Amino acid sequence: MGSSKWVHVIFLVVGLLLAFVAVQTIDWIWGLFGRPIDLVVILAGGALAGGATVYVWRQPATFERANEVVAELSKVTWPTRKETKAATMVVIVTAAVASLVLSLFDVIWSWATALIYT
C-alpha cells in the first residue's frame, strides 16, 4: 500500500471518528431541549463531519504533512518480539517494586499515625 493510500485511509478513519463525536455531541445538546430525532441527528453529524473532513483533506498543506508523517512512520524500526517481552518484564518488575515501596510507606505511616492518635 503506497503512502498516499495510507493518507486516504487515515482521513477516512478520522472522518468516521469525527462523525461519531459529532453525532454524540448533537444528540447530547439537542437532548437538553427535548427528544432528538435520530435520523436528523445522524444526518447532521455525518454532514458536519464529512464537510470538515473533505475541507481538511483538500488542503494541500495538510495532505502534504500527512504524507510526510506516513513516510516517517515507514522508516520506524519496530521492536522484535524478544525486545518487547524484555521491555514488558522491566515494566512489570518496576511496577512491582514501586508497589512494594508504596506499601512499605503506607505501613510505616499507619504505624506512626496510630502512635500519635493513641
Return the domain boundaries, the chain: 1-76, 79-118
pLDDT of residue 118: 81
Residue with cell 517494586: 97
d(CA 68, CA 83) in angstroms, rounded, equals 28
The secondary structure of 87-118 as a DSSP string is HHHHHHHHHHHHHHHHHHHHHHHHHHHHHHH-
What's the pTM value of the predicted model, to 2 decimals?
0.63
- Asked if residue 87 lies in contact with residue 79, where contact means CB atoms within 8 angstroms, the answer is yes
116-to-18, 42, 73, 107, 108 alpha-carbon distances in Å? 56, 62, 58, 14, 12
Residue with cell 502512635: 115
Per-residue model confidence as pLDDT tens digits over 37-60: 899 999 999 999 999 999 999 999
The DSSP code for 2 is -
pLDDT of residue 24: 95
The CA radius of gyration of the chain, in Å to the nearest whole number, is: 26
The secondary structure of 23-75 as a DSSP string is HHHHHHHHHTTSPPPHHHHHHHHHHHHHHHHHHHHT-HHHHHHHHHHHHHHHT
pLDDT of residue 114: 93
- Which residues in the chain land under pLDDT 50? none
